[in-house]
Structure 1
Amino acid sequence: MSTVDNTPRWLAVAALAKIKNGAYSNLQLNQLINEHRMDRRDINLLTNMVYGVIQHRLTLEFWLKPFVRHPHQLDPWVRELLLSALYQWQYLDKIPQRAVFNETIEIAKVKGHPGIRRFVTGVLHQMDRSGLPAFDTIEDPDERLSATYSMPVWLIQELRQQLGATKMEAIIASLNQPAKQSLRVNTALSTVSDVTTALTNDGLTVEPSQISPLGLVVTDGQAINTEAMRYGMFTVQDESAQLVVPALNVQPGDRVLDACAAPGGKTTQIAAQLDVDAGGEVVALDIHANKVRLIGQNAARMHVADRVAATELDARKVQTQFDDENFDRILVDAPCSGLGLMRRKPEIRYEKQLQDSLNLQKIQLAILTAVAPTLKKGGIMTYSTCTILQQENQDVIAKFLADHPEFELQTTPTEQDLKADRTDKTLSIYPDDYLSDGFFIACLRKK
């Protein structure tokens, strides 16, 4: 076997070719890392290349187009090889162009026939001689933004319509910045101070979150490899996601329904606020048995399993197992398009269409409608999504309230008093606001 087979560049090309055929990027990366012995530097390069090419795909394809007449007729691995060479050349300043071109040509030589090697060599040298096309050569303004920020035209147009041109461009520009490594401290077991000390002693650089009082941001080092992570002192969770549970205002003796719970990050955050001796319990639902097991595993790792009842059940059928006015609090962290996660999961931007949001709206409304009778009078139901389109956010709440006059919308609270000057009672966190995930949170009180 050639040594090329084990280099981060070749493994990245292999992963990208599979991801283009529908494989999930994180699963492909984990599989490759587990199958090949690589040091931390090579793992970082592999990860950077895979996510970078996905993130900037439309930009890279725009640059490649003048040099390859029919790029989509190429073998997938050859196309991904050229795109990954472009990504390294344009975005990875520490890698010399000569090294990028030489290894790209070597991969083409080993993995393809002589014609492919000559083709790849010719394309690279022509790009070097001619230079890459400029974005200002694109006449259509939306197509120009699409190529500049690697964002689909439909999403650019929808965000402009909903939020205005300035906010839209700020959002799409921010989504190509690296995602932060954010953690939530497990208050059932530890404190922010103790976790900070433990991670600092392990050589990590940590700073407090500006969004969540339980949040920490690791700016240097890998938190998942620490003893504190294994022991359950914290979990990996985006700063925006940490805002959802505090909005429920959970009390120690509450009976709580987490209607769409997997993988259990918010379930364990709820459970940490409960007192089992006072009757506190969170019923965590998911429709898939394997995900219910995952909720249980996460609850055990976070030392809150005695307060978590992980249950296999479609939230739309909740009344088949639970009586009316059964719960003090209900969380509906609804299935959504996930467009607020594009910084962390870049392939989402190419997979979704507006119709997906409209289809999901029906499911979101069905879940809210199904669980609403099980909430006690005076109880709080919090609805959240990790998307940034109003079809799945404000529109869902408006439709629900129109059909359920027994509920009233309350102002979503945050412990850091975020967006205190907003006029909406709901809370929308956009990816450019704090460089965290996009999130929407609404609090509904049953009269």
Structure 2
Amino acid sequence: MSKYILRETALDLLTRVGEQGGYSHVLLDQAMQHSNLSLKDGALLTEIVYGTLQNKLKIDYQIHPYIHRQKKLKPWVKWLLYMSVYQMIYLERVPDHAVIHEAVEISKKKGHKGISGFVNGVLRNVQRRGVEDTEQIKDEVEKLSISTSHPEWLVRRWISLYGFETTEAMCRHNLKTLPMSVRIQPLRISLEEAESQLRERGFETKRSIFSEQGLLIIKGNILKDPLFTDGMVTIQDQSSMLVAEMMDLKSGQKVLDACSAPGGKTTHIAEKIEDQGKVFAYDLHEKKAFQVSEKAHRLQLTSIEAGQADSRNLQDLHKSETFDRILLDAPCSGLGVMRGKPDIKYQKKEQDIFSLRKIQSDLLKSVAPLLKRGGSLVYSTCTVDTHENEQAVEQFLKEDEEFMVDPDFFTELPAELRDSLGVSEYGLQIFPHQWDTDGFFLTRLLRK
């Protein structure tokens, strides 16, 4: 693929994400599948799209002096400037003259001479005179918001919950690339054998502290390796791996995964019960439930039965006290996974946190009666907000006295996590900067 077409593709993806609410990771995956991209070109396309989104607010501030007189910019022109300035400032290996030339060519094709002249003028000014420095911003909250491209409402909310130091650490860490981590399928390959094979093929790996099945990929492209293509390993963030590890699973159990797509935790559960017993996996959308089935098939797991259902109505499908274990990985604001999905921070509003809480509470109330007495329910989210996490658990425990936080949950956590910043009486909040993972919350509730 020529660099011109690559940048044209990046502009199309950014415009669809920024103006139409598309999901960056989904659109990128589709573009990769339908384009004959080399490994190098795929990496550059990903870098341009994610990097531009990650730094959008900062870039907007930096180039404001050059565009503020323009009364109304067409969305594609704005995103063309954002992605071009991102490459000029943040990507040292991409020459400025190449970025400017291709931006002008794209603007000629999509617009008219006036637009191409404007784009050329802005980018030449950036090249000659540089950009605005965020350090001159007086207000510390505003400065943190713009310099790390996090909406000001979110920065202020996190400061009120966790203080300035933790908030700053989270915001700055969210700009870094999330390390690749994989989980082995232990019924097909041992951790030692996976490490050995990868080492022979030039990989560098490190064992995860979150799961006995987890490996961090320090060097190497696991997506092209036979271990991945043959279903011996699957991609999963470390914090997500902790969920099944903390479910106290045993061979032959009957388990409910109430919100299962895309299936990473579901398949991990099946592995932990040695593919003996049954895992009922549901998702609100039929297409997503099918993804769970596909992942189970790829990993050669047969104990998973995936289907479409609203988990608030599962009592219509299953009798009370049916399951030994339940996982409720609840729908949430997703504020812990912004490193891999940077568009989240622009698409979410503060009100979303409160409206989602109603769904989380309804789901907890609905699935709780399906748990056997003496069984346990793990509640988890991929967000870093107490309203969706600790407060949701606190409210549920007040309303249902049959449940309590399992005290063994805290002693069974990996040793490094037991005294971490996010431990509370209601569970464990993992912050993204602590262990270089997604932000995540989980707890284990015991039915008396």
TM-score, normalised to structure 1, is: 0.94
Change (3 A) 1:216 1:4: closer
**Larger mean Cα displacement after TM superposition, 138-147 or 202-211:** 202-211
- Given that 1:385 and 1:441 are in contact with CA atoms closer than 8 Å, whether structure 2 keeps it comes out as yes
- Given that 2:96 and 2:127 are in contact with CA atoms closer than 8 Å, whether structure 1 keeps it comes out as no
Does 2:253 align with 1:268? no
- SS of the residue 2:182 aligns to: strand
Specify the alignment match of 1:376 in structure 2: 372
Partner of residue 410 from structure 1, selected from 379, 395, 406: 406
TM-score, normalised to structure 2, is: 0.94
Does 2:391 align with 1:395? yes
**1:13 positional shift:** 1.4
- Given that 1:188 and 1:304 are in contact with CA atoms closer than 8 Å, whether structure 2 keeps it comes out as no
Tell me the amino acid that sits aligned with residue 410 of structure 1: D
Alignment of 1:181-220 (within 5 A): 181-220=180-219
Instruction: Name the CA distance, whole Å, in 2 between partners of 1:290 and 1:231.
Output: 23
Specify the alignment match of 2:308 in structure 1: 312
Return 5+ residue gaps in structure 2 as ranges.
none
Tell me the amino acid that sits aligned with residue 375 of structure 2: G
**1:25 positional shift:** 1.4
Question: Deviations along 1:232-261, whole A, 9 cap, x unmatched?
Answer: 211100000000111110111211111111
Instruction: Name the CA distance, whole Å, in 2 between partners of 1:347 and 1:332.
Output: 25
**1:161 positional shift:** 0.6
- SS of the residue 1:244 aligns to: helix
Change (3 A) 1:95 1:318: same
Instruction: Name the CA distance, whole Å, in 2 between partners of 1:405 and 1:96.
Output: 64
- Given that 2:25 and 2:340 are in contact with CA atoms closer than 8 Å, whether structure 1 keeps it comes out as no
Instruction: Name the CA distance, whole Å, in 1 between partners of 2:3 and 2:183.
Output: 40
Aligned residues with identical type, % of pairs? 36
**1:71 positional shift:** 6.1
Tell me the amino acid that sits aligned with residue 389 of structure 1: D
Specify the alignment match of 2:348 in structure 1: 352
Specify the alignment match of 1:9 in structure 2: 7
**1:399 positional shift:** 0.3
- SS of the residue 1:408 aligns to: strand
- SS of the residue 1:23 aligns to: coil
Question: Deviations along 1:207-266, whole A, 9 cap, x unmatched?
Answer: 222333211111222212222112221110000000011111011121111111111111
- SS of the residue 2:418 aligns to: coil
- Given that 1:4 and 1:107 are in contact with CA atoms closer than 8 Å, whether structure 2 keeps it comes out as no
- Given that 1:211 and 1:239 are in contact with CA atoms closer than 8 Å, whether structure 2 keeps it comes out as yes
Specify the alignment match of 1:61 in structure 2: 60
Tell me the amino acid that sits aligned with residue 316 of structure 2: T
**Larger mean Cα displacement after TM superposition, 20-29 or 87-96:** 20-29
Specify the alignment match of 2:446 in structure 1: 445
Change (3 A) 1:151 1:222: same
Alignment of 1:19-418 (within 5 A): 19-20=17-18, 21-69=20-68, 73-275=72-274, 280-305=277-302, 307-411=303-407, 412-413=409-410, 414=412, 416-418=414-416
Instruction: Name the CA distance, whole Å, in 1 between partners of 2:135 and 2:223.
Output: 43
**Larger mean Cα displacement after TM superposition, 201-210 or 385-394:** 201-210
**Larger mean Cα displacement after TM superposition, 434-443 or 68-77:** 68-77
Specify the alignment match of 2:419 in structure 1: 421
Question: Deviations along 1:127-180, whole A, 9 cap, x unmatched?
Answer: 233321111332332221111000001110111111111111111110001111
Does 2:19 align with 1:18? no
**1:111 positional shift:** 3.5
**1:15 positional shift:** 1.6
**1:276 positional shift:** 5.7
Question: Deviations along 1:24-83, whole A, 9 cap, x unmatched?
Answer: 212322333344333221111111000000110000111121100256821222211111
- Given that 1:183 and 1:234 are in contact with CA atoms closer than 8 Å, whether structure 2 keeps it comes out as yes
Instruction: Name the CA distance, whole Å, in 2 between partners of 1:397 and 1:273.
Output: 25
- SS of the residue 2:215 aligns to: strand
- Given that 1:237 and 1:265 are in contact with CA atoms closer than 8 Å, whether structure 2 keeps it comes out as yes
- SS of the residue 2:445 aligns to: strand
Instruction: Name the CA distance, whole Å, in 2 between partners of 1:427 and 1:95.
Output: 42
Instruction: Name the CA distance, whole Å, in 2 between partners of 1:156 and 1:72.
Output: 29
Return 5+ residue gaps in structure 1 as ranges.
none
How large is the Cα RMSD of the aligned pairs? 1.9
- Given that 2:62 and 2:134 are in contact with CA atoms closer than 8 Å, whether structure 1 keeps it comes out as no
**1:107 positional shift:** 2.8
**Larger mean Cα displacement after TM superposition, 102-111 or 10-19:** 102-111
- Given that 1:287 and 1:312 are in contact with CA atoms closer than 8 Å, whether structure 2 keeps it comes out as yes
Instruction: Name the CA distance, whole Å, in 2 between partners of 1:371 and 1:147.
Output: 41
Tell me the amino acid that sits aligned with residue 429 of structure 1: I
Instruction: Name the CA distance, whole Å, in 1 between partners of 2:301 and 2:374.
Output: 27
Instruction: Name the CA distance, whole Å, in 1 between partners of 2:183 and 2:35.
Output: 31
**Larger mean Cα displacement after TM superposition, 30-39 or 92-101:** 30-39
- Given that 1:65 and 1:71 are in contact with CA atoms closer than 8 Å, whether structure 2 keeps it comes out as no
Tell me the amino acid that sits aligned with residue 231 of structure 1: D
Instruction: Name the CA distance, whole Å, in 2 between partners of 1:230 and 1:267.
Output: 19
**1:189 positional shift:** 1.6
- Given that 2:283 and 2:310 are in contact with CA atoms closer than 8 Å, whether structure 1 keeps it comes out as yes
Change (3 A) 1:361 1:418: farther
- Given that 1:238 and 1:436 are in contact with CA atoms closer than 8 Å, whether structure 2 keeps it comes out as yes
**Larger mean Cα displacement after TM superposition, 378-387 or 11-20:** 11-20
Change (3 A) 1:383 1:4: closer
**Larger mean Cα displacement after TM superposition, 417-426 or 332-341:** 417-426
**1:202 positional shift:** 3.5
